[in-house]
Structure 1
Amino acid sequence: MSDHGHSHGHDHAGHSHGATADSDKRWLAGALAVIVVFLLGEVVVGLLAQSLALLSDAAHMLTDAASIVLALWAIRLAARPAAGRMTYGWKRAEILSAQANGLTLLGLAAWLTYEAIRRLIDPPDVTGGLVLVTALVGIAVNVLASWMISRANRTSLNVEGAYQHILNDLFAFIATAVAGLIIMLTGFTRADGIATLIVVVLMVKAGVSLVRASGRIFLEAAPAYLDPVEIGSEMAAVDSVIEVHDLHIWEITSGTPSLSAHILVAENADSHAVRAAVATMLAEKHHIDHTVLQVDYTDHDECPDTDHEHIPHCQDAHGPVHRKTTASN
């Protein structure tokens, strides 16, 4: 006899997610408009000043605009309901967007490294005044765009990806402004290439972080803030639970952890009450609202080799087995 329990907070979460998604779209669209207007002007000035730092900033801002467009598209896809073969809906589109943002940061960093080194070896003439003025305007534009995106829900890896693009561009403009000032005061044109390399370091750091975080979700790893061993022990410590195995914790998209497990309970236990107690503990202590729990009876405190029929999966459990004795140690 078994009790297959499924609990979640879809109705409430869906309503709040919809409201959040609409707000996110408004802030992202506002940041996009600000960036595109400035981007067009920066390309013109960068060509006139022959500044790689400005042109690299413009290229980065182009990826900023693309990242916001991608984020908006992913939000729209993620809002589609689960249907047909898409049993989770399109929520993972947001993670695809975040990974694409991370990869474009790394690709752009590689290209800028090559160009910066080339210019350090053979520096062109750079008009420091134009670089400085444009960079100062760029700082103001990126502060505004960063503030707009920070108003959106940054717990979404999708929104965070777009935010990291804009934040790195802000750092780029600060470095470019410093380079422009140095060129004006000293004529040291290699400052342009050095500023670009400083920005590259920041881009690599943000890109690796986004790729790693999105990769964890694609590999169905447990979120970094949830410890499966600790959670398994806490589930096993619930009254009447004998054993917990086949415990899986993953994220459908950032901020929406899910859990499934096979739970063995004492023969005289109320399986429905046990399932409810475990689900409540997971929701209240770990904020895991989407759980699928299979509860089966056993009259044994351990899993004997000979009683394999009454205790399914004991011989081939996925991952660690959590038992009452383990939980109490």
Structure 2
Amino acid sequence: MAHHDHDHSHGHVHGTQNQRAVGIAALLTGGFMIAEVIGGVVSGSLALLADAGHMLTDFAALVLAWFAFRLARRPADEGRTYGFDRFSVLAAFVNGLTLFVIAGWICLEAYKRLNQPVEVIGGLMLWVALGGLMVNILAFWVLSRGEGDNLNVRAAALHVAGDLFGSVAALAASLVIIFTGWMPIDPLLSVLVALIILRSAWHVVREAGHILLEGAPKGFDRRKVAETITAEVAGVIRVHHVHAWSITQERPMATLEAEIGDGADVDQVRQSIKHVLKEGFGIDHTTVEISRAAAARGLPD
């Protein structure tokens, strides 16, 4: 005897909000990217070009994130019984991997610049960096108003945050160049930005990969689940075959089998187990299999 239930209409509301936030951030990022490319080429600044290259991939990443939210709103069908929500996790994983590529390119270019210094026009670099900083702050603010726990939004926000750090680095480098003329500051600060990007990207890739590999939700301990249900739900003798995974970060799932004693009400036990999982472990989509213990069925153990 098994039963399951779920309700993710609340998630669809957040999905619409997140889709709108990511779409606005994509327009802001893509619009300023062109100006930053021109400014980087004219001024000769690696910091600006690195930030522009990052903004280009950010634009693609934000568009991918926007598309993932839009696709996730499609209803489940016969071939995809959980719908398309998992695509947003895949988008976050891909976006995280692109950050590794970006950081590697920045470090390579910085190494070349340190060996062969390039003249940088500090004044033009300053104004373009200021413009980029304003745009990135606005885009990051828009994303921060979305559902912050959503992995896809976090990946998109990390892209924008990387741009924001890039703009700050370019701004700092331009001031050093204007007042001291020391050109190596440009590639050195670019490497610093790349390291910050790498640290953030690793967290996103690791978490998205964990979900894609059907890993248990964060903090989930199936032994503790079994012990808690056995202790708190009257009539339950043993809990086993406990499995948990996530469709997205907001949609954890669980299945389990509970053996009950003679006289225990199946429906009441099932609802009590679901209540424990929801209130104690944050899982509201569960499939619970109920069986009578061997002794209750009159069979030898």
| Larger deviation, residues 43-52 vs 28-37 | 28-37
| 1:292 equivalent in structure 2 | 287
1:227 CA displacement: 2.7
| Larger deviation, residues 262-271 vs 286-295 | 262-271
1:270 CA displacement: 1.4
| 1:50 equivalent in structure 2 | 44
Distance 2:94 2:208 in 1: 9
Alignment of 1:286-325 (within 5 A): 286-300=281-295, 307=301
1:163 matches 2:157 = yes
Identify if the C-alpha distance between structure 1 residues 299 and 267 changes in structure 2 by more than 3 Å, giving closer, same or farther.
farther
Distance 1:262 1:176 in 2: 58
1:287 CA displacement: 2.2
1:65 CA displacement: 0.9
Distance 1:96 1:296 in 2: 37
Distance 2:61 2:147 in 1: 16
Q: Residue by residue, what CA displacement relative to the aligned partner does 1:125-167 show, whole Å, maximum 9, x if unpaired?
A: 1111111221111111110000011111122111111111001
1:232 CA displacement: 2.2
Number of aligned residue pairs: give it.
Answer: 298
Distance 1:132 1:254 in 2: 40
Distance 1:131 1:229 in 2: 58
Q: Which runs of 5+ in 1 are unaligned?
A: 308-329
| 1:99 equivalent in structure 2 | 93
Q: Residue by residue, what CA displacement relative to the aligned partner does 1:244-269 show, whole Å, maximum 9, x if unpaired?
A: 11101110111111110011111221
Distance 2:280 2:206 in 1: 26
1:195 CA displacement: 0.8
Match for 1:64 among 46, 54, 58?
A: 58
Counterpart amino acid of residue 153 in structure 1: E
Distance 1:187 1:128 in 2: 8
1:239 matches 2:234 = yes
Q: Residue by residue, what CA displacement relative to the aligned partner does 1:163-213 show, whole Å, maximum 9, x if unpaired?
A: 110011101111111111111111110101001100011110111111100
| 1:317 equivalent in structure 2 | none
Distance 2:206 2:191 in 1: 23
| 1:211 equivalent in structure 2 | 205
Q: Tell me the SS of whatever aligns to 1:260.
A: strand
Contact 1:7/1:279 (<8 A) preserved? no
| 1:6 equivalent in structure 2 | 4
CA RMSD of aligned residues (A): 1.6
1:130 matches 2:124 = yes
Identity of aligned residues (%): 37
Counterpart amino acid of residue 264 in structure 2: A
| 2:110 equivalent in structure 1 | 116
1:91 CA displacement: 0.9
Distance 1:106 1:223 in 2: 25
Alignment of 1:164-203 (within 5 A): 164-203=158-197
**What is the TM-score when the length of structure 2 is the normalising length?**
0.95
Q: Tell me the SS of whatever aligns to 2:85.
A: coil
1:256 matches 2:251 = yes
Distance 1:184 1:224 in 2: 49
Q: Tell me the SS of whatever aligns to 1:82.
A: coil
| 1:268 equivalent in structure 2 | 263
Q: Which runs of 5+ in 2 are unaligned?
A: none
1:286 CA displacement: 2.1
Q: Residue by residue, what CA displacement relative to the aligned partner does 1:87-120 show, whole Å, maximum 9, x if unpaired?
A: 1111110001000110000111111111111111
Q: Residue by residue, what CA displacement relative to the aligned partner does 1:2-58 show, whole Å, maximum 9, x if unpaired?
A: x212132x2xx32x2332222222222222222122111111110001111100000
Q: Tell me the SS of whatever aligns to 1:292.
A: strand
Distance 2:20 2:247 in 1: 24
Q: Residue by residue, what CA displacement relative to the aligned partner does 1:264-283 show, whole Å, maximum 9, x if unpaired?
A: 11122112211111111111
Contact 2:11/2:250 (<8 A) preserved? no
| 1:82 equivalent in structure 2 | 76
1:299 CA displacement: 4.1
Contact 1:244/1:264 (<8 A) preserved? yes
Counterpart amino acid of residue 179 in structure 2: L
1:225 CA displacement: 3.2
1:234 CA displacement: 0.8
Contact 1:267/1:299 (<8 A) preserved? no
Counterpart amino acid of residue 214 in structure 1: A
Counterpart amino acid of residue 165 in structure 1: H
Q: Tell me the SS of whatever aligns to 2:288.
A: strand
| 1:318 equivalent in structure 2 | none
